[in-house]
Amino acid sequence: MKMLNFACGSRIHEDWENIDFSPIDARVKRVNLLGKLPYPDNYFDVAYSSHFLEHLTLACARDTLLEIKRVLKPHAILRIVVPDWENLCQTYIQVLQSLSDISKSGGGVKP
């Protein structure tokens, strides 16, 4: 099984083809992730990336995913991890509300 770990950063696995724009390890192949990937069509069975796509513009993300699709076999697995912005924003708002409630009640740190 051929597996691609793109934009791997420090998440390197010996059984995968690890690629990144700026490799930090000799086990990672330097590849321009925004261009044509150096693999033939229908080459990989699996592709994985974590916390990469959210750094791209919508157009770049689309082009990158189309290129990943090109190198994946039909019915291959693609797993992508991105931040859950809704959850992060809700948590932020809850913390702000808690701080506001403490301030209104006269609590908090005293000088």
pLDDT in tens, 30-54: 999 999 999 999 999 999 999 999 9
Domain 3-84, what architecture? 3-Layer(aba) Sandwich (3.40)
Residues of the chain with pLDDT under 70: 106-111
pLDDT of residue 91: 87
Cα–Cα distance, 68 to 61 (Å, whole number): 10
- Where are any strands of DSSP class E within 1-111? 3-6, 17-20, 29-30, 44-50, 72-81
Query: For the chain, which residues make up each domain, given as ranges?
Result: 3-84
* Residue 12 three-state SS: coil
- Mean pLDDT taken over the chain: 91
Distance CA 64, CA 47 (A): 12
**What does pTM read for this prediction?**
0.76
Cβ-contact 73, 29 below 8 angstroms: no
Task: Report how far residue 30's alpha carbon sits from residue 39's, in angstroms, rounded to the nearest whole number.
Answer: 13
